[in-house]
Structure 1
């Protein structure tokens, strides 16, 4: 049985000690865009708050914070669809599978635009609070498969949460890559009792929740952060390719006062040569082709 402590699943590896990866066409950086779509059940405490509860008392139903999220599904996400259609980018969609039932119109737009569907649990809430993880994972993966017509290969835990048993259950369900382990600029492989999983370099730093909602930075700072990250990774990519993830939510980055900063991030990125925009499955396939993590 695999030692399920995270550090034991992935022995330490310094990036400078590995053979450099090689991108097609001698490109130097992959930009991985992840759009997160979630269901916040109005009968439960909200996943996060833009406005604190009066006197610190959590009150149900939490109409203002639920409505804030709902704006992203009704209005904000369509700004994302317009932007990525113009850019010719097909992002990864990190999706609570319940979105397919509760917001079918939104899910259909992503499916028909050719976005990759990555599992993000059934609804928003930490994995630690789910009594039947195996059943929830299976339900989520099956719902996405039935809706898109193809099996999904990626998974991101809500809030990047995992228990000690989650990797085994994901591998058992057919998941090939995860985004919860944000410890590298390159893909790696971790062990489970049901075979290995590839980790892709997701981001908590270039994620609009920590920057905008937790740390309360001004909107323009997020753009600066993304551009600074890109510039350094692009520079380093001359010697060994790097991966840069951008993680966004429609109720945050697609607000009218923020969307221009996201547009400007891509203008900056696309002014450089050697950039590949890839979704998670494409990154996984590229890495697996050379490292043979899965047959």
Structure 2
């Protein structure tokens, strides 16, 4: 059979790539990516705490809304205790409907990554003009509310159509998080140039782990620690990006937050060996490296 090829990047074997450093001579970058989302009441899309295919009800709407009302604020406190920055993949509507969250993000100096209009919808089933409108509307609202146009994008549900990369690059985006193909940044081809893929874990992610696979908080804690320890070891050979993905309506429940607290305590004991940054920080550093350092680099 003939394999269909996406044409966005070429195969690149990890040991054959140039070796470079992160700032300060570090080899392991640590980024915490937090998803702040809003949903439509009793309609559209949205995960459930117990049944994967459950219809939209008052109960699962309220369970998700807990994240914006309570869990996010627990998480802000935990980040502050450790002096950690964060990248927030934010639906534009949540910044409008929950202005206190936006104010706290701006006060902390955290990064906002475009994450669609809401998580009640996906973009991969839309016609090109409709998808372009979704990206433009989300971008314009985030820019108006925050005062800064986002440079990065994460599609709700990791969703992309055949032309999403093209539309993002044309809308001025520099990087995206939807392709979990590597532990290093990779340049992706678009019809108008290139866009950077910054590593974003679908594995070290509280939503697929604890909601879809129904793993325990203790299991997720063990995953974080094991992933970190192994990547720290591997980073002696080459630069890597360790991303930890959270959703406040999941990780923000106190018993899960306690597991995250223990995992962060473990990571922070190695703080001197890490470049603690944001996904936007990774993007900026890569763009300052000599051409050809990163696979697929634009000419």
Alignment-derived partner of residue 126 in structure 1: 122
Change (3 A) 1:89 1:188: same
Asked if 1:100 corresponds to 2:98, the answer is no
Alignment-derived partner of residue 192 in structure 1: 190
Query: Structure 2: how far apart are the matches of 1:16 and 1:184?
Result: 13
Change (3 A) 1:219 1:165: same
Do 1:46 and 1:66's aligned partners in 2 also have CA atoms closer than 8 Å? no
Name the count of aligned residue pairs: 287
Unaligned runs of 5+ in 1: none
Change (3 A) 1:78 1:6: farther
Change (3 A) 1:195 1:255: same
SS at match of 1:9: coil
Unaligned runs of 5+ in 2: 292-296
Query: Structure 1: how far apart are the matches of 2:49 and 2:37?
Result: 16
- Residue 170 of structure 1: how far off its partner (Å): 0.4
> 1:24-81 CA deviation, whole Å, 9 max, x = no partner?
222121111001011110041441111339xx773x5x10000000111111100111
Alignment-derived partner of residue 179 in structure 1: 177
- Residue 294 of structure 1: how far off its partner (Å): 7.3
Q: How does 1:66-85 map to 2 (within 5 A)?
A: 66-85=61-80
Moved more, 229-238 or 102-111: 102-111
Alignment-derived partner of residue 49 in structure 1: 48
Query: Structure 2: how far apart are the matches of 1:43 and 1:171?
Result: 34
TM-score (normalised: structure 1): 0.93
Query: Structure 2: how far apart are the matches of 1:129 and 1:146?
Result: 27
SS at match of 1:277: strand
Query: Structure 1: how far apart are the matches of 2:170 and 2:155?
Result: 16
- Residue 128 of structure 1: how far off its partner (Å): 2.1
TM-score (normalised: structure 2): 0.91
Q: Once superposed, what is the RMSD of the aligned Cα atoms?
A: 1.8
Query: Structure 1: how far apart are the matches of 2:92 and 2:113?
Result: 9
Do 1:177 and 1:284's aligned partners in 2 also have CA atoms closer than 8 Å? yes
Query: Structure 2: how far apart are the matches of 1:239 and 1:128?
Result: 37
